[in-house]
Amino acid sequence: MAVVLNPLVKWAQDRNQVYLTVELSDVVVNSLQIQEKTLKFEGCGNGAQGENIYKLDVTFREDILPKLCKHRISDRCVTITLKKKDSKYWERLLADDIKPGWLKIDFDRWRGEDDSEDERQQEEITRISVEHRNKQMESQLQDHVREAEEEVKELVIKGYLSIYNSIQGIAFFYITFAVLIKLLLNGADAVPRIYDDVSDLLATCQIAAFIEPINAAFKLVHTGVFAPLAQCIGRFIALFLVITPHEELQKSVLVVVLFLAWSLIENVRYPFYLLQTVGYCPKWLLWLRYTAWIPLYPLGLITE
């Protein structure tokens, strides 16, 4: 169905007549039908939507005298003068309570009408102008409030994610550093003691990691829920249900390899998330994020 284009129409009135100005330049009027309660207009000209066919089909609030109505076509517009059946001021032009967007008040012409009604007309114009200005200000204020709320919300989310990723990143860097230093200084003799040295911190980090699927569920991050949840559950089972209850496993070299695999993965992942949150991520870290998992994830899965 073709969209009906309405031209911009300005209106004014005095006690006896209504003045309509159809804002179409270089217009060719195809039809103009005026009845006691209605006006139908169709014309081709340049309006708000460029050169097009524009139509009007309106119902007036009060009756008019069609035979005494007249119109004039100029290069810039079509002027229509409607004779009121009853000599009085109309509360509004149209029968419909809702004012359409294409209808505007012709303030210049309104001010130039009957001198005896100047004061009343000026009050009406002032009231309408104030209401229009207030609505515009209210709309702009609401837009600013919404924008401010969105900015504050985004800032709070970024701050929260930055703090979380920073804490997790620092913790896993410490775990990696502690494991590697003990292995370098003590060699194989350090293996039985590594679990006791880093397991508490690692357990805390793994419990805290359950925040990540919650973040995804609340759309705080652009990722799915299943992947981080599956990883958290897998590590939880390995650490708390398999390794922790069995002391003989705690002294195994496989536990050391597993802890290193987990930590090295997070040494890349959390800094990547942190820098991505603040809007800056170097290419080398991006490459490392999507490359390091190739050897580390299979290593972690095998040792798990």
What does the block give as tokens for 116? Answer: 């005896």
| Cα 41 to Cα 48: distance, rounded to the nearest angstrom | 16
DSSP secondary structure string for all residues of 8-42: PEEEEE-SSEEEEEE--EEEEEEEEEE-SSEEEEE
Q: Is the pLDDT reported for residue 171 higher than 90?
A: yes
Q: Which residues contact 76 (CB under 8 A, 6 or more apart)?
A: 23, 25
| Cα 128 to Cα 64: distance, rounded to the nearest angstrom | 24
Q: Give the pLDDT confidence score for residue 120 in this predicted structure.
A: 64
- 34-59 tens-digit pLDDT: 999 999 999 999 988 888 899 999 99
The total number of residues shown for the chain amounts to 304
* Beta-ladder partners of 40: 33, 57
* Beta-ladder partners of 47: 50
Backbone phi and psi for residue 220, each to the nearest 5 degrees, phi listed first: -80, -20
Q: Give 60: exposed, middle or buried? Use CB within 10 Å, 0-12, 13-18, 19+.
A: buried
Question: Among all chains, which residue has been given the structure tokens 């590697």?
Answer: 180
Closest CA to 101 of 130, 146, 73, 135: 135
> Would you say the pTM of this structure is higher than 0.85?
no
Q: How far is CA 42 from the centre of its chain?
A: 39
Q: How far is CA 269 from the centre of its chain?
A: 28
Task: Report the pLDDT averaged over residues 141-165.
Answer: 90
291 or 166, higher pLDDT = 166
pLDDT band at 1 (very low <50, low <70, confident <90, very high): very low
Question: Among all chains, which residue has been given the structure tokens 């100005």?
Answer: 21
- 96-126 tens-digit pLDDT: 888 888 888 888 776 544 554 555 666 777 7
Q: Give the pLDDT confidence score for residue 210 in this predicted structure.
A: 95
| Cα 25 to Cα 7: distance, rounded to the nearest angstrom | 11
3 state DSSP class of 94: strand
Q: Is the pLDDT reported for residue 2 higher than 60?
A: no
Q: Which residues contact 61 (CB under 8 A, 6 or more apart)?
A: 90, 91, 92, 93, 94, 95
| Cα 273 to Cα 183: distance, rounded to the nearest angstrom | 29
| Mean pLDDT taken over the chain | 86
Active site residues: 297, 304
| Cα 204 to Cα 167: distance, rounded to the nearest angstrom | 11
64: left (phi over 0), alpha (psi -120 to 50) or beta: beta
Q: Give the pLDDT confidence score for residue 91 in this predicted structure.
A: 85
* Beta-ladder partners of 46: 25, 51
Closest CA to 220 of 286, 283, 165, 292: 165
Whether 58 contacts 80, CB under 8 Å: no
Q: Give 41: exposed, middle or buried? Use CB within 10 Å, 0-12, 13-18, 19+.
A: buried
- 265-298 tens-digit pLDDT: 899 999 988 998 888 888 888 888 778 777 877 7
- 196-242 tens-digit pLDDT: 999 999 999 999 999 999 999 998 888 889 989 998 998 899 899 99
Backbone phi and psi for residue 24, each to the nearest 5 degrees, phi listed first: -135, 125
Closest CA to 231 of 218, 216, 212: 212
Q: Is the pLDDT reported for residue 62 higher than 60?
A: yes
pLDDT band at 247 (very low <50, low <70, confident <90, very high): confident
